[in-house]
Amino acid sequence: MTPVKRFDDKVAVVTAAGAGIGAATARALAEEGARVVVSDISQTRAEEIAEALRALGHSVRTAKVDVSAPDQVEALLADTLREWDRLDVLINNAGLGLPKPLHEQSVDEWQRTLDVTLSGTFYGIKWAVPIMRAQGGGAIVNTASICGLAGDYNMGPYNAAKAGVVNLTRAAALENASHGIRVNCVCPGVVNTRVAHLMAPGREDAFLRAQGPLHPLQRVAEPEEIARVILFLASDEASFVT
Which residues are identified as catalytic? 158
Axis crossing angle, helix 20-31 with helix 223-234, rounded to the nearest 10: 50
Cα separation, 26 vs 19, in Å, equals 10
Amino acid code (one letter) for 240: F
> C-alpha dihedral over 213, 217, 222, 226, to 10 degrees?
-120
Pick the closest to residue 141 from 187, 189, 185 (CA basis). Answer: 185
- How large is the greatest C-alpha to C-alpha distance in the chain, in angstroms? 61
Contacts of 92 (CB under 8 A, 6+ apart): 15, 67, 120, 121, 124, 125, 140, 141, 142, 143, 165
Q: Could you give the CA distance from residue 63 to residue 15 in angstroms, rounded to a whole number?
A: 9
Cβ neighbours of residue 187 closer than 8 Å, sequence gap 6 or more: 144, 145, 146, 148, 149, 162, 166
Q: Crossing angle for the helix pair 20-31 and 43-55, nearest 10 degrees?
A: 30
